[in-house]
């Protein structure tokens, strides 16, 4: 793809000492000197939101994925790549969806950069295809090619840890569990305290306050689940919420796996979900943010139910971003929706 070529070209350029000096002078170093703040770059909204809550006004925090953009269509710009290579703290997911980062990080002449990858903060869960779900023939954009690589992996132990292959097997949406969010928040705090020890008390105080709020959020979800009539959710959409349902002991049925690129399920998948909604007497068919929710609408129309958005927080709409919505506010909205969906 064109953006992958762009990444490689810029990575090579950044590895040249003379050009690296020029770029650092017009990017990270100059900006840091002007603001007197450390620089944090996050690839997506959850880590961006965690960082701005912890760092407050002591850091400049930037999110690469623009509000309203579908994460799987993101292509880094030259400015994005330079920003990553020059920041003090880089927050990413750490999975196959961000494989473009490998060459950038390897070539960045920034030995003091700290990196926090969300998948490294928790115990990852393997992706799965649930009953009735549209099978995923071409996972992400790699499909058959990576299937062949997996076969070669079985033939030779020396190939067992090829970059990207292991990450490909795991659900990357770890933040959907508030308990995982706490783990990520604590790692971000540790990195900030190491980078900027003069402000460590400030970061730790913000972290302790935020963790308390996340614990309250977790307790709210648990209370709803304990008091619910049913334990199953129906998504007429992709399902990037494995960590959430595992955390709270819920079952689910969905049209697609979490990282599916498809938008049109088979007739068999839609029929299965319609039957399941009727059998389980599910009152709400769910969809995720930035979705056209056509599948959810079709299922709801056939079953006499309504549809509603369940926030995964992978990204946020431009309107919600401008309104100041946060991971915490969006997840609190999920608490009330879950109360309705399970009763």
219: how many CB neighbours lie within 10 A of its CB?
12
* Residue 68 confidence (pLDDT) above 80: yes
pLDDT at 153: 40
The fraction of the chain above a pLDDT of 90, given in percent, is: 63
pLDDT at 122: 96
Mean pLDDT over each residue of the chain, to the nearest integer: 83
* Residue 74 confidence (pLDDT) above 70: yes
Q: pLDDT digit string (tens) for 106-145?
A: 777 889 999 999 999 999 999 887 777 765 443 333 334 3
Q: pLDDT digit string (tens) for 149-160?
A: 444 444 444 444
Q: Tell me the pLDDT band of 263, cut-offs 50, 70 and 90.
A: low
Residues 27-34 have a mean pLDDT of 42
Lowest mean pLDDT segment, chosen from 90-104, 232-246, 266-280: 90-104
Give the predicted TM-score (pTM) of the model.
0.81
pLDDT at 131: 76
- Compute the distance between CA of residue 216 and CA of residue 220 in angstroms, rounded to an integer: 6
Report which of residues 140 and 105 the model is more confident about: 105
pLDDT at 129: 78
Report which of residues 145 and 216 the model is more confident about: 216
Q: Tell me the pLDDT band of 260, cut-offs 50, 70 and 90.
A: low
pLDDT at 262: 62
Report which of residues 73 and 105 the model is more confident about: 105
59: how many CB neighbours lie within 10 A of its CB?
24
Residues 207-224 have a mean pLDDT of 98
pLDDT at 223: 98
pLDDT at 97: 77
Write down all domains in the chain, each with its CATH number in brackets: 2-124+172-214 (3.40.50.1980), 223-341 (3.40.50.1980)
């Amino acid at each position: 793809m064109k953006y992958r070529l762009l990444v490689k070209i810029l990575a090579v350029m950044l590895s040249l000492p003379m050009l690296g000096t020029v770029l650092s002078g017009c990017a990270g170093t100059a900006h840091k000197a002007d603001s007197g703040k450390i620089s944090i770059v996050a690839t997506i909204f959850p880590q961006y939101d965690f960082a701005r809550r912890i760092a407050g006004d002591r850091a400049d925090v930037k999110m690469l994925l623009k509000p309203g953009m579908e994460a799987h269509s993101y292509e880094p710009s030259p400015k994005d790549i330079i920003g990553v290579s020059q920041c003090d703290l880089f927050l990413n997911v750490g999975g196959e969806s961000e494989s473009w980062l490998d060459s950038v990080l390897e070539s960045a002449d920034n030995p003091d950069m700290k990196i926090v990858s969300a998948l490294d903060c928790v115990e990852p869960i393997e992706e799965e295809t649930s009953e009735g779900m549209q099978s995923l023939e071409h996972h992400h954009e790699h499909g058959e090619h990576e299937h062949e690589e997996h076969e070669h992996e079985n033939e030779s132990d020396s190939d067992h840890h090829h970059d990207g292959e292991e990450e490909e097997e795991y659900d990357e949406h770890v933040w959907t569990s508030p308990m995982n969010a706490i783990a990520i928040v604590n790692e971000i705090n540790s990195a900030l305290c190491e980078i900027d020890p003069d402000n460590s008390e400030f970061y730790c105080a913000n972290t302790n306050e935020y963790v308390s709020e996340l614990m309250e959020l977790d307790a709210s979800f648990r209370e709803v689940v304990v008091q619910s009539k049913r334990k199953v959710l129906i998504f007429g959409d992709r399902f990037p919420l494995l960590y959430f349902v595992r955390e709270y002991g819920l079952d689910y049925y969905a049209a697609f796996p979490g990282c599916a690129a498809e938008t049109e399920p088979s007739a068999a998948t839609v029929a299965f979900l319609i039957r399941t909604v009727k059998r389980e007497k599910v009152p709400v068919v769910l969809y995720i943010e930035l979705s056209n929710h056509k599948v959810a609408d079709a299922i709801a129309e056939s079953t006499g139910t309504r549809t509603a958005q369940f926030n995964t927080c992978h990204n946020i709409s431009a309107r919600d971003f401008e309104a100041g919505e946060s991971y915490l506010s969006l997840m609190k909205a999920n608490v009330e929706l879950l109360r309705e969906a399970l009763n």
